[in-house]
Amino acid sequence: MEKTGEHETLSNPKVLIEFAESQKKVTTNHFDSKHDQMIVVFDADIYKKKEKQYQEILKLGQKNTIFAVTNPSFELFLLLHYENSYEDMIAPNAEDVLANRKVGKRRYIAALFTERSGMNPKENPAIDELAADIDVAISQERKLNQDIENAVGKLTSNIGKIIQEIKEDKALK
């Protein structure tokens, strides 16, 4: 399921958890609580100086939700789809990536992604073509922190880990 219409801009993790819970009750979604789980994707950068609130969010959704977390933002995971992007772009700029300050009109990691891909990650429909390189992203993601309990203050992504578990049919077990 994806957020559409009036829900498309939802990004606050607490609101996303509430939205996911409401979607489970929509009969046309055919959500089967015995076999299905929701994955809520959010960026941990909003919790830079709010470790306690971050831990509260994790507890809030812990029972019924899988969290896919990136820090600072989803563009970090997108950049991982390119061979050697960790070694060539992320690791040498780790401090700037984590700080993720504005560079012109965009954040640092979004600018790095655009530099590498030639795409604006927020507006380019070709972004879905990165799925062809998911195994590259999964492999490179292992070089980052994947423990979402310790995401605040660390370059983090567990999206590839979740995708790998789904590929291996382990996510729901």
| Domain edges within the chain | 5-167
pLDDT at 126: 85
Which residues does 157 contact at the CB level (< 8 Å), separation at least 6? 69, 70, 71, 76, 77, 80, 141, 144, 146
DSSP string covering the chain, please? ----GGGTT---HHHHHHHHHHHHT-GGGT--TTT--EEEEEEGGGGTT-HHHHHHHHHHHTTTEEEEEEES-HHHHHHTTSTTHIIIIIGGGHHHHHH--EETTEEHHHHHHHHHHSS-TTT-GGGGGGGGGHHHHHHHHTTSB--GGG-TTS-EE-HHHHHHHHHTT-TT-
**Alpha-carbon distance values, 26 to 6, 7, 17, 138, 166 (Å):** 16, 15, 15, 32, 24
Choose among 95, 99, 55: nearest CA to 73. 99
pLDDT in tens, the chain (173 residues): 565 555 555 667 888 888 888 888 888 888 888 888 888 888 999 888 888 988 988 888 777 778 899 999 999 999 999 999 999 999 999 999 999 999 999 999 999 999 999 999 888 888 888 999 999 999 999 999 999 999 999 999 999 999 999 888 765 54
CA geometry: angle 157, 161, 166, nearest 5 deg = 140
pLDDT at 173: 45
Overall pTM > 0.75: yes
The owner of tokens 């820090």 is 71
